[in-house]
A and B are shown apart, each in its own frame.
Chain A
Amino acid sequence: MSLTLERRQAPTAPDAVEVVRRARRAPRLHHRRLVAGLVLALVGAFAVRVLLGDYTVTIPDFVRILGGEQIPGATYIVMESKLPRAVLAVLVGVAFGVGGAIFQTTLRNPLASPDIVGVSLGASAAAVSAIALAGWSGWSVSAAAVAGALGVALLVRAVAGDHGGFRLVLAGIGLAAAMQSVIQYVFTRVDEWDVQLVLRWLTGSVNGVAWAGIGLLAVALAVLLPATAWAARSLPVSELGDDAAAGLGVGRTRTELLMLLGVLLVAVGVAAAGPVAFVAFLSGPIARALNRGRTTLPAAGLVGAVIVLVGDHIGAYAVPDLNLPVGVVTGAFGAPFLLWLLARGPRHALRGRRAA
């Protein structure tokens, strides 16, 4: 009996291994292709943002400008306006995309993104207070933003307790309203009401940022993104929930560390460009959908960068003579998406992973 069984299985066994191997390889291949495609999309969007618009720059001209050559008019527009805006858009988009995806996956709720639960607005409130009331600048503003984001994140956690889903989102919405009031109060305290200031800290904007601020964000991301990549190795296990993750040998501290990195990413992004609405909320779910329902932080970051770049381009050129900040554009188009997600029903939107 056993002999016949063995004989029957022997020729098929290698095939089964091959089938499993191929099935396991397929998502990884798909992910690699997806990331490559998104990088291409990002490069395309970047080129459009820098080269096209009211003033068209040819590619040879662009290369010459980067080489340090002075072309009257073009050099100034590219180096002082278009290029810093585009670079900042990419960096901020990556920070918000990855930070938002970390929140959504570790809390296992697509609605628990930092811009909905008030973390972005907390960072913004702290940053604008530091700038307008205390006169800080540079690193100290980023530090204030980090403190504000951490404060709100801890407060939301303390209020929500262990009820990750509903309570957390509602408590976050309440705190977001409070943070918005703080920001509005700061505006009434500044001597001269500055529209640009209001737009940056209430809606998010990449207009008129100096290279120094961009360098600061780049340095912060150069530290935070590798740390996130290291900490996120356990993400697929953390996604299963605290108990299952603990059973598989991934302790809570690993998840907590990942959350901390998410808060930091969002905070440094806000310190540079303000709370650009809904980028953190949108990037994760879009990247997931593109990746056939599997979580992916790199793709989320790339999607975020593309969203901010395209949003900034639309804001700058969609309406003639009107330079809309990117946060207005992402808010105007992101909110309908959130409403659609809610309208699709609780099975998808509110329970998130468990039902999916």
Chain B
Amino acid sequence: MSTLPLAREAASGPLGGGRGRRPALPASVAIAVAALVGAAALSLLLGARAVPLDAVWDSSHPLHPVVQARLDRTLLGLAVGAALGLAGALMQGLTRNPLADPGILGVNAGATFAMVVALTLLGTTGLAELLPVAFVGAAVAAFLVHAIASIGREGATPMKLAITGAALTAGLSSWTTGLLLADRKTMESFRFWQVGTIGGRGLDVLLTGLPFLLVGAVLALAGARLLNTLALGEDLARGLGRRTTRDRIVVGLAVVLLAGTATALAGPIAFVGLVVPHVVRSLVGPDHVRVLPFSMLAGGVLVVVADTVGRVVLPPSEVQVGIMAAAVGVPVFIALVRRTGRAL
């Protein structure tokens, strides 16, 4: 807690100039790891019914199955949160747009719509077949939003991107609802998925998506230096010898893999990718080599904490993690809109 004022000071300083006053890298790593372990432990122990610590180790304890189920959802939450946090940081770096988030810019809606089309019209079942479909939907939506927002003299401003994303999300969710209405059985199973939840999904779901998440994460972390150069602006990056189009495609591919898989696993969760990079940047500075890994960790922590809080905040029912993320994310979004209002 005592690091907070330090961090704020650093964030208000000139870019890159406040490095000395920021917490040193080992300290940041220690804080992040402690937060991760703490969040995971709370997620295992808390819920509609708190379990004692020994139930975690003792497999003959009557409450051990509860811990097992919570372990599954904790792992899924960590993976999905890491993917969303990383995807958000990549999008914000790629578009140089403080409001970028896979949920706000319509990427999640694209993945959702493509999956529902495959489920209802093509009769696809099974997560393994649905994942590529989700990637295609996410990629098409991301491309569409960017293309439409780029038309006009001032290009893709944060304002235009956000509104285009919202419009696409609204239209796609109408089509999604229409398709689901025709197929009541799919609708019933989509009921909770559509809100965004990591509960009751099982470990096999995570294992199916994990390879794609890993590839996306490797691409993303390899792209950290690309983003640093792109942050200087298109012309300067090109002057420094970067092939900016290729760089953008690499980072865009990582976004599609991460956001598409996260949506397929847990449903469309917005605002995690928006909030996490801002918090991380205020703690470790603007260097993407640091921002990206810390966004991964912080995204996982946020989703797991949101899920845990959602389990205990209004007993006996559960508040889905998608709803909790909106509760945290909307105030941050509005604060960002207020702060960047003039630049829009």
Task: Give A contacts to B, CB under 8 Å.
Answer: 111, 116, 159, 161, 163, 166-167, 169-171, 173-178, 180-181, 184-185, 188-189, 193, 195, 199, 202-203, 277-278, 319, 322, 324-325, 327-332, 334-336, 338-339, 342-347, 350
Contact = CB atoms under 8 A, between A and B. Distances in A.
Contact of A328 (B104, B177, B187): B177
B270 A170 contact: no
Contacts of B184: 195
Chain B: interface size category = 35 or more
Contacts of B337: 159, 167, 170-171, 174
Interface SS of chain A: helix, strand, loop or mixed? helix
Contacts of A173: 104, 162-163, 166
Contacts of A193: 191
* B181, B187, B271, B338, most chain A CB atoms within 10 A: B181
B307 to A, nearest CB: 14
B195 A199 contact: no
A34 to B, nearest CB: 28
Contacts of B84: none
A110 to B, nearest CB: 11
Contact of B182 (A170, A319, A336): A319
Nearest to A181: B326
Instruction: List the 7 shortest-distance A-B pairs measured between CB atoms, nearest first.
Output: A335-B171, A331-B174, A181-B326, A345-B152, A178-B330, A338-B167, A174-B333
Nearest to A173: B166
Interface in B148-195: 148-149, 151-154, 159-160, 162-164, 166-168, 170-175, 177-178, 181-182, 184, 187, 191-192, 195
A166 B344 contact: yes
Interface in B127-160: 148-149, 151-154, 159-160
B169 to A, nearest CB: 9
A177 B171 contact: no
B320 interface: yes
A117 to B, nearest CB: 11
A188 B317 contact: yes
Contacts of A350: 159-160
Interface string B195-219: 1000000000000000000000000
Interface string B302-344: 0000000000000001111011001100100110011001001
22 contacts: A116-B166, A159-B337, A167-B341, A167-B344, A171-B338, A173-B162, A173-B163, A181-B326, A181-B327, A185-B323, A188-B319, A277-B174, A330-B174, A331-B170, A331-B171, A332-B174, A335-B170, A335-B174, A338-B167, A338-B170, A339-B167, A350-B159
Interface of B: 99, 104, 148-149, 151-154, 159-160, 162-164, 166-168, 170-175, 177-178, 181-182, 184, 187, 191-192, 195, 270-271, 317-320, 322-323, 326-327, 330, 333-334, 337-338, 341, 344
A324 B178 contact: yes
A184 B177 CA distance: 14
Contacts of B191: 193
Contact of A334 (B171, B182, B338, B344): B171
Interface SS of chain B: helix, strand, loop or mixed? helix
B163 A111 contact: yes
Given A111-B163, A166-B344, A171-B334, A336 B320 contact: no
Nearest to A344: B151
A342 B150 CA distance: 10
Given A170-B99, A178-B327, A335-B171, 10 more contacts: A169-B163, A177-B326, A178-B326, A184-B195, A188-B317, A334-B170, A335-B168, A335-B170, A339-B168, A346-B154
Contacts of B168: 335, 339
A343 B326 contact: no
Contacts of B327: 178, 181
B148 A339 contact: yes
Nearest to B177: A328
Nearest to A174: B333
A118 B168 CA distance: 16
Contacts of A346: 152-154, 160
B109 to A, nearest CB: 10
Contact of B160 (A181, A332, A342): A342
A76 to B, nearest CB: 24
A163 B344 CA distance: 11
Contacts of B317: 188-189
Nearest to B179: A328
A328 B334 contact: no
Given A181-B327, A188-B320, A346-B160, A336 B171 contact: yes
Contact of A167 (B187, B195, B322, B338): B338
A322 B181 contact: yes
Contacts of B172: 335
A175 B330 contact: yes
Contacts of A329: 174, 178
B282 to A, nearest CB: 20
Contact of A332 (B99, B178, B187): B178
Contact of A170 (B162, B181, B271, B318): B162
B171 A339 contact: yes
A49 B323 CA distance: 38
A134 to B, nearest CB: 15
Contacts of A344: 151
A335 B149 CA distance: 14
A328 B163 contact: no
A346 B149 CA distance: 10
Contacts of B166: 116, 173, 176
Contacts of A319: 182
